[in-house]
Amino acid sequence: MPAPLDDPGTVTATFCATLVDEWVRAGLAHAVVAPGSRSTPLALALAARPELALHVHHDERAAAFLALGIGAASGRPAVLVCTSGTAAVELHPAVVEAHQAAVPMLVVTADRPPELRRVGAPQTVEQTALYGEAVRWSAEPGPPVAATAGTWRSLASRAVIETMDHPAGAGPVHLNLGFREPLVGEPAELPPARPGGEPWHRGGGHRTAVDRTGTRLLEHLLDRPRGVIVAGEGAGEPATVLALAEATGWPVLADPRARCRLDHPAVICHADAILRDRAAAEALRPEVVLRLGEPPASKVLGAWLAASGAEQVVIARDARWFDPDRTAAAVLRVDPSAAAHALSCVIAHPQDPAWSGRWARAEAAASAAVERVLADRAELTEPAVARILCGRLGLDDTLVVSSSMPVRDVEWFGGRIDARVRANRGANGIDGVLSTGVGVALAGRGGPGRTAVLIGDVAFLHDTNALLGLAGRGVDLLVVVVDNDGGGIFSFLPQATALPAERFERLFGTPHGVDLAALCAAHGIACTTVDGAAGLGAAIDAARREGGVRVLRVPTERTANVAVHRSIDEAVAAALAGLD
């Protein structure tokens, strides 16, 4: 029989069981726990609920990015739990990424009770407001006592709503829970709940429709035939974006994360390569730009838009401000799909076939030029790796791409992409990429698709703790590592030619000399070194067919990578020179 609610251990256990019960009622399905003593009551409560998939990870930093991947893939937060002290600090990078990328995450840090703070107690840091403004909401209710039992369900339920339905968009929420000893106890009867398994609170949702003022504004700005649609992450349903392109006669400059890189005449996959040519960039200058969702990664595209002089409209679902160059004439915070549909119904201006035809011819010429350059190379280049991997993945698959060069190679050279593409482009860091991929794979476990990760060697080494226990997590995960023994992106920057070679290598090239295959083997994970386009394609197909965790290492050379990018730029420019 449960102990009465006047026993300290019982109170704490009942408090944690109540929180978890509300999270289950809210539909949460995953919990990520980094082991520790002070978080024991909550870890036990989570483990007691079979409705939750429980993922235990040794490393807090990797665990946090794993939770980030689950939230990004599922649209619902994973409960992320750690103990007190520096363990809570290790979560910060993933919390920042979740904040800036609008990914739901429910962060729960265990803490010492107030009487053990600021007195030199071990494993104690200041955890109140630890993540600053990088959270949508935070709460520190203090150690649980029976008198506050009536507030427990509200606390847990509100935390879920704030992480998914905040006016600023989805993002992380932080609960800092102080626990007194004893940390192990049996829960008593839980406080009363809503009938029918309902959560204590329900969110109100967001405005999705374009109001009359917004419609008039858009009609005024979008009445010209020479426009472009820039579709980024969060652009809305691809079919709706493409329907708008058909209604306007405008091309869609599609970031891979928008999932609009489909077989459609309006879709432009090689905008970066096209706009690197000065004559083409001038000939294709628009009068108006409709930007849906987040900005693409391409710096060339961003600079071209900023210098275009076009009137620009930004449409994004949440309150994040996507206007780094401060050129937007209007910023509408509505659902891009709803806005695109509304615009498709009211657009009345005549289309300009010459405008859409010029873009289509430029896209065809650029795509063919990229194919020729890559086919003429005997060695397997980094652009070819991105193009081959993207071409081998299907509609049900997800590709997680690291920042730095991989995300750019996918944007520039990936071409048509059926798979869902994800990248940590909130803070654009390279840490936690592999763990994010593991989280995406866990969220999709049991579904028809597979998860792949395209990552560089330095980013892979940043997150080697993601390999801890990975072989036993029961996921299908293909990891393609481009190994150029250092920081390849720096070879494209002025530092590469402005500094003596030795100094550049020491400060920027940073060769590491790590045997990645041996590192994988230490974790019981198969790693195959691949060279040659045919070998990579066959290895990707085999990995997807066999399932489990597979790592493919593709050795490249940094200087040669710069040269192949230059060759592609020159080939595209030559191909565009013959167009009107």
Q: What is the pLDDT of residue 111?
A: 95
Cβ pair 530, 539 in contact under 8 A: yes
Q: What is the pLDDT of residue 447?
A: 85
Residues of the chain by 3-state class (helix, strand, coil), percent to 5: 45, 15, 40
Mean pLDDT of the chain: 91
Distances (CA, A) of 147 to 9, 144, 185: 15, 8, 18
Confidence of residue 498 (pLDDT cuts 50, 70, 90): confident
* pLDDT of 504 above 60: yes
Q: How far is CA 143 from the centre of its chain?
A: 35
Token output for 436:
């994010």
Total-model pTM:
0.92
* pLDDT of 207 above 60: no
pLDDT digits (tens, 9 = 90+) for 538-559: 999 999 888 999 999 999 988 8
Please tell me the least confidently modeled range out of 197-206, 370-379, 507-516: 197-206
CA dihedral 409, 412, 417, 419 (to 10 degrees): 40
HEC readout, 292-336: ECCCCCCHHHHHHHHHCCCEEEEEECCCCCCCCCCCEEEEEECCH
Q: What is the pLDDT of residue 1?
A: 39
pLDDT digits (tens, 9 = 90+) for 300-347: 999 999 999 998 989 888 777 888 888 888 888 888 888 888 887 776
User: The tokens 């626990």 sit on which residue?
Assistant: 179
Interior/surface letters 332-358, b for 16+ CB within 10 angstroms, e for the rest: bbbbbbbbbbbbbeebeeeebeebbeb
* pLDDT of 523 above 60: yes
Q: Percentage of the chain surpassing pLDDT 70?
A: 95
